[in-house]
Structure 1
Amino acid sequence: MSAGTGVAAALHQARRSGQALAAFPAPIPATLADAYTVQRDLCAALGVPLLGWKVGRIPQTLIETLGAERLAGPVLRVAELDGEAPGDARVFAGGVGVIEAEIILRLSAVPTRRLASDREAMSFIDEIRAGFEVASSPAPDVHDHAPYGIIADIGINNGLLLGPRLDAESFDRIVITEIEGSRVGSGRPCDILDGPLGSLRFLVDLHMDGVIALEAGQWISAGAITGVHPIAPGQTATAHFGETVRIACTASTDPGFAS
């Protein structure tokens, strides 16, 4: 880690040990640039391959000030869902744990220029999946420091769970999420800002600006379709993508990144 990265060091220790923090470590980054610097330091300390990128949203009240609607975080865990058996969604006990139903795209090649249209963006995608983003942080107050705390703590991503493939022509279907059998949200992928391919274009812009580094084969978790839903260890989430695709996961306590 570079000098002055006490925030990254504290987050690294918490993620390695699986132990929650009392609060987000100070000093909290005050700019997007500072937050992405902490993110890079934390990734370097964890020392594992970057398997993809998640895309989240900037709080509405800060969009005009920051000139951005989205934020990015690296994905360090990816697991395939196995048919009807619920996947394992690891969350930090005493921290923040949420589940998000998402469209997940696989990048076939890295663009060498900014992408101007959905059609152009789709030419860089070779697979589309239904899936979950598991979002969890060892800092219980991380959302109080959005977007800077979220970006710094690797986008609070704690893994992707990959479900069935979806057709490019019909992935924009109604999605319904349930927690413990109770409906908690619904929506369509393309109703979220300018849709999943807009998320990809955003990441390409960050790549071209030198903020992140995309690689072929990475997975892109394109944004929460039905909302951000709190989940606790032992609870099960289910998401229905249209009438035919169903995925499920059960939250468990994260034992730490070394496990």
Structure 2
Amino acid sequence: MQTDKNQTEQYTFTIIVPVYNEEENIDRLEQSLSNYLPQALYKTCVLFVNDGSTDESGNRIRQVCERHPHFFYLDLDRNGGLSAALKAGFDHCCSKYVGYMDADMQTDVEDFNLLLPGLESHVLVTGIRANRKDSLFKNLQSRIANGFRRMMTGDGVSDTGCPLKVMDTGYARRLPMFKGMHRFLPALILLQEGSVQQVPVRHYPRLAGKSKYHLWNRLTGPFVDCFAYRWMKRRYINYRVVTTNL
């Protein structure tokens, strides 16, 4: 885990944006994020995590960060998937709060202002995509996956796949990380005895780029991961130090 302080310490809220081959969306991301920062509820910065993109995403991200003093980036040496990109972002975040959004522009960055007030009483606040604009087949896959996950984890979250979440950074950095972890963020927060709130957010159709999800990683992978979570849940350790002379 990264422990050194960095420029994100100067902010209260950091937005992590994992990016993998989304060059067609970078310009829209730049405009949307730069418009949001002045109206954010807290002093906010953006941390792009380039997850080993093979297109021009990395170059475009660096150019964007040169134009905006509150934008930062990490370049990963290879594509590790969304959970790896989130772990890198969490490990390098030093602000009090951290959130993330996908680079596909299917959610609205302004809706972070709907989620952030919940952090006064909850550890994690997650969006629920209202009136989803995905295909019927994709929505069906998500409903099946979400239903099975809720049964296996008991997290009570109706849309864990919503790519708009905010949380306490201390909890985020203590998350037990594994591939597919992003689907279990609420359940993993509950393992730390933290509380979770759900808030409806807007959802839009994808206008550019290609989805990185298909039948295998939306259904079969999460099915296997649920059993891994159940194993972890029975063995997870929580402790609190009452006093010390360190």
Where on the TM-score scale, by shorter chain, does this alignment land: which range?
under 0.3
TM-score, length basis structure 1: 0.27
TM-score, with normalisation over the residues of structure 2? 0.28
User: Which protein, 1 or 2, shows the higher relative CO under an 8 Å CA cutoff with sep ≥ 6?
Assistant: 1
Q: Of Structure 1 and Structure 2, which has the larger fraction of its residues in strand?
A: 1
